[in-house]
Amino acid sequence: MEFQVRGRYAKEVTYMAKSSGRDKAEGALYKVGGRVLQVIGSLTGDRKKKVKGRLGRGKGSVKDREGRLKDLFK
């Protein structure tokens, strides 16, 4: 979510929604980052990193689906 302030005294504030392509790209990054954390956690035996990796992958899937939904309603 982005807000942009316009005007000399910040009287105008407009909301700028993220594009579907940006949501899909963020989703892909979260998925890759989650996979990396999960692998590092597996190799080192760190259960917390494994869990964080799984959560990151889940967040990436949600962002990707959000971008796909935005494409449907264009």
pLDDT digit of tens for each residue in the chain (74 aa)? 555 555 555 555 555 677 889 999 999 999 999 999 999 999 999 999 999 999 999 999 999 999 999 888 87
Distance CA 36, CA 11 (A): 44
Considering the entire predicted model, what is its pTM? 0.72
Q: Where are the beta strands (DSSP E) in 1-74?
A: 2-6, 12-16
Query: Residue 54, exposed/middle/buried by CB under 10 A (0-12, 13-18, 19+)?
Result: middle
Q: How many CA within 13 A on the CB side of residue 9?
A: 1
